[in-house]
Every structure is written in C-alpha cells, then in structure tokens.
Amino acid sequence: MTDADSPPPGEQDLAAVMFRILPRLGALEEPILREAGLSMWEYAILTEVASGAAVSQRELSRRTRRDPTRLGRHLDELVKRELVSRDRPQDQRQRTVAITESGQALLDGVRRNIREVEDKLLHTALTESDARNLRRLLDRVAAACESD
C-alpha cells in the first residue's frame, strides 16, 4: 500500500464506524420491538419472509444467518402468534414460510416507527438528500456482501 492508498488521517475503518452507530440504533429500536412483542431476531425473520414469496426454512436460515435450530424456535413462536405460516408442500420435504396478514400489519407498523426514529437520528447529522443517499449506498454494500 502506498501513501496515496492510505486512508486519510483520522478516517476510521467501516467496522469501527458501524460499531459506533449500531448500539444507538439498537437502543432506539429495542423499545419499538418490545412494544410489538418481537425480538430483534423475530423482526429480522419477519422482514425477510415479507420480502418475497414463501421461502423454505433452509433458505430463510441462510438469508438471516440464523442457525436452523434457533430459527425453528423463532418460527414456532411466530406461528403460535399467527404472524407467519409454515406449510409443507406435497412434493417437498422442506417446509415453506410465509407472512400472514396480521404479521404483515404488525411488521408495517414496526417499520414505520423504526423509520421515524432512524430518520430523526440521521437528520441530526445529514440533510434529507444525504440520508436518502446513505440508505441507498448501504443497501448496495449489503447486497454486495450477500452475494459473496
């Protein structure tokens, strides 16, 4: 690495920056999730299930990076609360998971509330345009990480 390739003085690595931001986001989002009766993992699972058509438990485990056994426990709870359904297609051994109407309604409300607190946080340091760009850029980085 040459001096030209070196990071500017004082510029932190991405992980260092993210570790400064994540605790604050967690503190802002935790009361919203608690009020909705969701753990962070259950919220992540609901979000992933809601992102498309019914998904297999194996695929859901991969997407959420949650161990299949632990994922199964979360799904049992979400099924019990009628937030997701879990079906076994006739021609497949693997169950598929889909969000229910009540699960989608809960998720929509939680997302609105989380977006509101995130926007307040972002707007303490960024313009509306910068906040939109940051979200867009982070989505691109996240997608690149998932394709690895």
pLDDT, one tens digit per residue, over 3-21 is 667 778 888 899 999 999 9
pTM above 0.95, yes or no: no
Measured between alpha carbons, how far is 128 from 143 in angstroms, rounded to an integer?
A: 23
Q: What is the mean pLDDT of residues 74-78?
A: 94
The domains found in the chain, sorted by start residue, are 13-146 (1.10.10.10)
| 43 vs 55: which has the higher pLDDT | 43
Q: What is the mean pLDDT of residues 92-99?
A: 79
Give the count of alpha carbons within 13 A of 144, CB side only.
Answer: 6
Mean pLDDT, the chain, integer: 89
Strands 55-56 and 96-99: antiparallel
